[in-house]
């Protein structure tokens, strides 16, 4: 039975916060990949655009990809706003478009509304959307251009860490919480606009793990949105596990714990799981 694992927001290369969690390395992540056939890294896998971390981030990503190759795991990398590369994919469609996987930085009018780079990101995003085709591909290409504008902004590198900057400016807490509340609905709106026939959207970016049945408006048809959270403190990482059998397609959201200095995939399934029963005529 093929098994696909979807992770986001590893942020390899970003310094670890001393909070009791293991460091994020190929070795500490290794057990998560046991028994996996295909891994989808859904954006922000490594901080390769941050001038203070990019060399270390690139080395850590290479080490992780080499480990996966030794384990025989095929890898698909999707762009995030920290590791945008026009040569990589911006989204993946699975099972004839039933499932859409994309990082999630393209959903709103600003991908980081509480940061000093917010203004330049929003301006670049607006201009890029005007130039690009009004398609899913064009929309995500515009988000990639806006992502890069963040890394051309000097304030990005003089800003303290996210936790410190939010602590120094409590108003940012309110902005983050407001953005978190809006984010699942923005994801549903994204589905309505570009892939209305899709049944499930898997994203990350906001670092708020969860599963929602939500419509773009209160009157809209609810959409299923899953967010895998993030690995950096204080986020709570999750993984989507897809088990594909002749009789059933099962999509499970599982927690990622840490034990003995390593990250492990929880054997328990979160309450939010999604299953498609295949008719006997479709059995392969």
The larger pLDDT score, comparing residue 170 to residue 210, is at 210
Query: What's the pTM?
Result: 0.93
Residue 168 confidence (pLDDT): 58
Domain spans, the chain: 3-282
* Buried b or exposed e, range 237-255, using 16+ CB within 10 angstroms: bbbbbbebeeeebbbbbbb
pLDDT score for 66: 98
Considering the domain delimited by 3-282, tell me its CATH architecture. Answer: 4-Layer Sandwich (3.60)
Residue in 43, 227, 225, 76 with CA at minimum distance from that of residue 147: 43
Q: What is the mean pLDDT of residues 140-167?
A: 80
One-character DSSP codes across 33-77: GTT-SEEEEES-SB-TT-TTTHHHHHHHHHHHHHHHHHHT-EEEE
Model confidence pLDDT, tens digit, residues 213-261: 999 998 999 999 999 999 998 788 999 999 988 888 889 999 999 999 9
pLDDT above 90 coverage of the chain, percent:
73
Nearest to 122 by CA among 146, 142, 151: 146
Q: Tell me how far apart the alpha carbons of residues 13 and 15 are, in angstroms, rounded to a whole number.
A: 6
pLDDT surpasses 70 at 173 = yes
Per-residue model confidence as pLDDT tens digits over 107-137: 988 898 888 888 999 999 999 999 999 999 9
pLDDT band per the 50, 70, 90 thresholds, residue 282: very low
Output the six-digit token pair for 281. Answer: 């005529």
The answer, yes or no, to whether residue 162 has pLDDT greater than 70, is no
The predicted model gives 180-205 an average pLDDT of 96
């Amino acid at each position: 039975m093929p098994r696909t694992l979807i992770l986001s927001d590893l942020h390899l290369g970003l310094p670890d916060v001393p909070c009791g969690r293991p460091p994020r390395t190929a070795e500490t992540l290794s057990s998560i990949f046991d028994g996996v056939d295909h891994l989808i890294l859904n954006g922000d896998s490594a901080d390769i655009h941050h001038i203070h971390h990019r060399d270390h981030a690139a080395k850590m990503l290479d080490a992780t990809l080499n480990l996966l190759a030794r384990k025989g795991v095929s890898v698909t990398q999707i762009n995030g706003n920290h590791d945008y590369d026009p040569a990589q994919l911006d989204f993946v469609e699975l099972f004839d478009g039933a499932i859409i996987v994309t990082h999630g930085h393209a959903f709103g009018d600003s991908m980081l509304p509480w940061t000093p780079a917010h203004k330049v990101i929003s301006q670049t995003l607006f201009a890029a959307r005007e130039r690009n085709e009004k398609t899913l591909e064009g929309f995500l290409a515009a988000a990639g251009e806006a992502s890069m504008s963040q890394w051309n902004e000097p304030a990005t590198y003089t800003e303290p860490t996210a936790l410190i900057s939010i602590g120094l400016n409590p108003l940012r807490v309110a902005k983050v919480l407001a953005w978190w509340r809006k984010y699942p609905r923005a994801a549903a709106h994204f589905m309505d606009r570009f892939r209305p026939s899709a049944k499930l959207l898997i994203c990350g970016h906001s670092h708020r793990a969860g599963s929602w049945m939500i419509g773009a408006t209160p009157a809209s048809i609810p959409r299923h949105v899953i967010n895998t959270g993030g690995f950096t403190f204080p986020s709570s990482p999750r993984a989507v596990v897809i088990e594909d059998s002749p009789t059933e397609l099962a999509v499970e959201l599982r927690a990622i714990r840490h034990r003995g200095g390593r990250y492990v995939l929880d054997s328990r399934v979160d309450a939010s799981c999604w299953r498609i029963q295949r008719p006997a005529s479709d059995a392969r």
